[in-house]
Structures are given as C-alpha cells and as structure tokens.
Amino acid sequence: PQSARALPRIQAIVDDSQAEFVLTTTSVLTKMMRWVSNVPDLVDLTWLTVDTLDLVEREYWWNQDVTPDTLAFLQYTSGSTSTPKGVMVSHGNLAHNLKMIHTLWRISESEHPVGVYWLPIFHDMGLIAGILSPMYSGYPAYFMTPADFLQRPLRWLQAISAYRGTVTSAPNFAYELCLRRVQEKDLEDLDLSSLTGVGNAAEPVRASTLERFSRYFAHCGFSVNAFQPGYGLAEATLLVTSLIAGTPVQIAHVDKTRLDQNEFIVTDDPQGWPMVGCGLPLHDQRVVIVDPATLLPCSEQQIGEVWITGPSITAGYWQRPDESNTTFQAHLATGEGPFLRTGDLGALQKDNLFITGRLKDLIIIDGRNLYPQDIEFTAEKAHPAIRPECCVAFSVDEGDKESLVVLVEIDHRYRPASSADSDYTLDLQEIVKSVREAVSEHYEILVQKVVLLKIGGILKTSSGKPQRHACRQAFLHNELKSWND
C-alpha cells in the first residue's frame, strides 16, 4: 500500500479471510511496520519476507491432492462499488483462464516470448497475467515494482527495449502516464518493435489513448496492432474477452444521443463518441447482453448488462452465500443459466464486446442515461489544473429531481495567487466555470455542483479505480477535503 489509508482495507481482508500469514519483502515490511504497529490484529500475524526464505528447505513442503475444483486462492475485489469481497478462484478456473491468455497472446507462435511487467501482484492482472502466465506457458518474464514505474514510467519502456519484451499488460492510465512523462529526447534509445501483445484492461479503454500512444511511439517501432484491448473481472478469474494478438483494434463511433437512450448505434460521423472493442471470449466462455429489467437477451443495437458463463467463472464470494447466489446464479427469463451478472453495461457488435459503463454507477437525469466515466473524461480535460485520472461524477437527489455533481482534484503545483508561481495560479472560479462549460457543451446538461479537491481527495481502490459510491457518501456527509471550503 502507498500509505496508512490502505490499512482499513487490509484489516477487513484479514478478518474476512482469517489469514494467519503475510508474504512480503524486507523493504516493504520495514515501511509496513510503521503503519501497523498500532493495529494488534495485523502486528500479530506471521510476516514472512520471501527474499530471506531458505528455498532449499524442502521438508517444509507437502504434496496436496489438487483437483480442478480445489480452491487456489481468494482474490479480493477492488471495492470500486462496494466492500471488497473474496472471490474463490479454483485451480480449474486458473487453468482455463491461463489457456485463454496463452491463445490470445499467441505464445505458441512466438519464437522467443518475453514478458515485462510492473503491476502489483495483489492485483488480479499482475498476479495472473504477470506471474502465473509465464509459469503456465513457459516463457521468461522480467518485473519491476509499481513504485519504480510510477516514479519514472520510462523504466517500463526501457525494460521492454532492453529485454526485447513481446508481451506486457497494464490499465489505460499507464499508457497515459507514459505519454505525459516520457520526453521526446528519450525516444531515440527506445526500441519497442518486439512487442506483439500489449494488454489494456482493468479500466475503461480510451480510443484517444491508443491513437496517441501509437503515434507518439511509432518512431520506436511500436505498432498499433500490438494493442489488445480487453475486458475482465475477478469474478471471472481475470480475462473475459480480448483481441487476439495482431488483430486490428476496432473503434466504433457511436451516436451519443442514442447512447443516452441505451442504444448502441454506430455512425459514419467522425464526431461520434469513440468506443473501443474488447474482442470476444474463447474456449467455451460465453458472453450475453441482457436487459436487467426483463432478463431477456438484448438485440445487437441495445445496451444491457454483461452476463458470462464458462469454466473461468469462479464459485462465488468467500462466506457470502446470499451475494454469491445473486451474482453467480443468474438465469434468463427463459430459464437458461446459471450466468455471472457482472454489473457492467455493454453491447455486442462487429465481433467485439463494447463496454459502456457500470450499472450501479449509471447516472439517470431527465430520462437520459449518462456514464460517469465519460463525464469524468471531459471534466479532466477542461482545465490544466485538474489532475489526470482524478475526477468523479455522480448524481444526488434534490427533492423532485436528480442533480449532477463533479469532483475534481487539483494539481499540487497550483496555489492561490499570493503563494503561486505565475504559471500555476489557482483560480477556483475559472476551474469551476471550465468544467461546467465543457460538460454542458458535450452532454447538454448542467453540472449543479463542481467540488475542487486537494491532493488525495478522490477516494480510490487499491488498484487506483475511483470509488464513486464512497465519494458520493463523503460529499453528502461533508467529509471531502475541498478548496471550496
């Protein structure tokens, strides 16, 4: 964790899982002890530093009778819309999902596959795509810490260049971070031509990110066809859909007005809203788009909830039978099932799954369905003082109507006029005006309240996703660290 703010989550996971041991490293343990020293339940755990373990002591290992149904581990959800829950991942789930990754990355067709990763291994993508996939498919992989990447994103690209990496994976924000922090003078020494499979998943995939990254790093030999936009979630082990390596990225320009009415209408108008296709599932995995009200399958041009069935679907949530039944045992109105209800909204079209948003996060104002991530993306670009990936949009009930609220975090360089560099003067009214105008121009809707937050004001999960529900609750209870105060 980056700070003591993560301790309540860790405490909740320890209590829920009844964990007795913690695997860590010597350097991380030193930092952690400063934070957990006053938390008896955490201090009393057995902390094992893996860099000091004697791996020769084989008498500590005993063979277990493992079947496909045997529980492999609990993967705790990110908690972006609720309290983190332990997903029960079996050995059979892992074998099926790793087979999908092997196929989608075309590992068997690669002469010298090499992985390069920086994602934390407590994240499902970092653990399964980063650690387990090389073990399953038998190829070498190189790793760096998340902190090393975040401090200097160039290190990731330099490692790919140095070790001739062919596959890697990261959320969309990582590619945005490279665009912001890697300078043109650094491009001369980079060779990214070896990359054939570059996963982009775990959060909304932005068409503009793929286009700008491909254009900026083209000089380094990077090909846009190396990108593999995908979709997945812990409840399905990891991967649900993805493009096959080398397949051209599909970007559909959608009629924004019809999108607000739950219709996915592709248009030839280049001004249409760009949506990135996330491919289709493989190996007996099936995706169905379902109307959450009628529980009937949607037509190709209708947006609905993403339901999944297949061998990668896990058994449910640890010690939560009621939630497991609701989420993992869904049936269509026809009786067909069971399916996993993902809570995500999307459409199937042109041999691609297009994800449009989260069912729980959906904003409905004046009969229009508005997706918070779209509003957040627009707000983020409205003013240079707004921190990237640090906006949250939601609605609140104001008597007889729903009103739109947007929270934005301000870059630490911006200060009030009396204490700021002339290039970084903080003008609160200007920022509020910019956000309102940008959202109004794109969506023809009024932002009732724009809240300017100080650093760390946007509540996020351990994997960096915005906790919209938690932010909304903090707003309603006046618990936000605001510049407006």
List the domain boundaries for the chain.
4-63, 87-358, 363-476
Reading the block at residue 285, the tokens are: 């995995």
Under the banding of pLDDT at 50, 70 and 90, the label for residue 291 is: very high
> CA nearest 254: which of 262, 246, 242?
262
Sign of CA dihedral 97, 99, 102, 106: negative
Residue 410 and residue 435 in contact, taking contact as beta carbons nearer than 8 Å = no
Under the banding of pLDDT at 50, 70 and 90, the label for residue 37 is: confident
pLDDT mean over 461-469 = 82
When the pLDDT of each residue in the chain is averaged and rounded to a whole number, the result is 91
Tens-digit pLDDT profile for residues 105-144: 999 998 999 999 999 998 999 999 999 999 999 999 999 9
Helix, strand or coil, per DSSP, at residue 93: helix
Residue 408 and residue 452 in contact, taking contact as beta carbons nearer than 8 Å = yes
Sign of CA dihedral 347, 348, 351, 353: positive
Reading the block at residue 385, the tokens are: 């003082």
pLDDT mean over 202-225 = 95
> CA nearest 448: which of 393, 409, 410?
393
Residue 369 and residue 261 in contact, taking contact as beta carbons nearer than 8 Å = yes
DSSP label at residue 244: P
Sequence-distant (≥ 6) Cβ neighbours of residue 228 within 8 angstroms: 104, 105, 197, 198, 199, 200, 242, 243, 244, 245, 247, 279
Q: pLDDT > 70: what percent of the chain?
A: 95
Query: What are the beta bridge partners of residue 358?
Result: 344
Query: What are the beta bridge partners of residue 392?
Result: 407
CA contacts within 13 A on the Cβ side of 291: 14
C-alpha distances in Å from residue 269, one per residue of 13, 255, 256: 48, 8, 11
Better pLDDT: 363 or 334: 334
Whether residue 311 is predicted with pLDDT greater than 90 in this model: the reply is yes
Tens-digit pLDDT profile for residues 222-254: 999 999 999 999 999 999 999 999 999 999 999
Least confident of 354-363, 412-421, 453-462: 412-421
Q: How far apart are CA 484 and CA 230, in angstroms?
A: 39
Sequence-distant (≥ 6) Cβ neighbours of residue 216 within 8 angstroms: 179, 182
Under the banding of pLDDT at 50, 70 and 90, the label for residue 313 is: very high
Q: How far apart are CA 304 and CA 250, in angstroms?
A: 20
Better pLDDT: 463 or 176: 176
Q: How far apart are CA 393 and CA 142, in angstroms?
A: 37
Whether residue 175 is predicted with pLDDT greater than 90 in this model: the reply is yes
209 φ, ψ (degrees, to nearest 5): -65, -45
Sequence-distant (≥ 6) Cβ neighbours of residue 82 within 8 angstroms: 469
Sign of CA dihedral 11, 12, 13, 17: positive
Q: pLDDT > 90: what percent of the chain?
A: 68
Name the CATH topology of 87-358.
Rossmann fold (3.40.50)
Q: Give the pLDDT of residue 399.
A: 64
Exposed e or buried b for every residue in 28-53, given b needs 16+ CB within 10 A? bbeebeebbeeeeebeeeebeeeeee
Whether residue 1 is predicted with pLDDT greater than 80 in this model: the reply is no
| Residues composing the chain | 485
Q: How far apart are CA 353 and CA 349, in angstroms?
A: 7
> CA nearest 86: which of 18, 8, 22?
18
Q: Give the pLDDT of residue 416.
A: 74
Q: Give the pLDDT of residue 58.
A: 67
Under the banding of pLDDT at 50, 70 and 90, the label for residue 400 is: low
Q: In this structure, are strands 227-232 and 239-242 parallel, antiparallel, or unpaired?
A: antiparallel
Under the banding of pLDDT at 50, 70 and 90, the label for residue 421 is: low
Q: Give the pLDDT of residue 199.
A: 97
DSSP label at residue 319: T
Reading the block at residue 410, the tokens are: 């301000």
Sequence-distant (≥ 6) Cβ neighbours of residue 11 within 8 angstroms: 39, 41, 42
Question: Which pTM was predicted?
Answer: 0.84
455 φ, ψ (degrees, to nearest 5): -55, 135
Residue type, 443: Y
Least confident of 192-201, 420-429, 464-473: 420-429
Q: Give the pLDDT of residue 398.
A: 76
CATH architecture of residue range(s) 363-476: 2-Layer Sandwich (3.30)
Tens-digit pLDDT profile for residues 148-164: 999 999 999 999 999 99
> CA nearest 247: which of 312, 199, 204?
199
382 φ, ψ (degrees, to nearest 5): -75, -25
Alpha helices in 118-163 (DSSP H): 124, 133-137, 146-151, 154-163
Q: Give the pLDDT of residue 86.
A: 96
Helix, strand or coil, per DSSP, at residue 133: helix
Q: Give the pLDDT of residue 420.
A: 54
Residue 90 and residue 314 in contact, taking contact as beta carbons nearer than 8 Å = yes
Least confident of 16-25, 382-391, 415-424, 430-439: 415-424
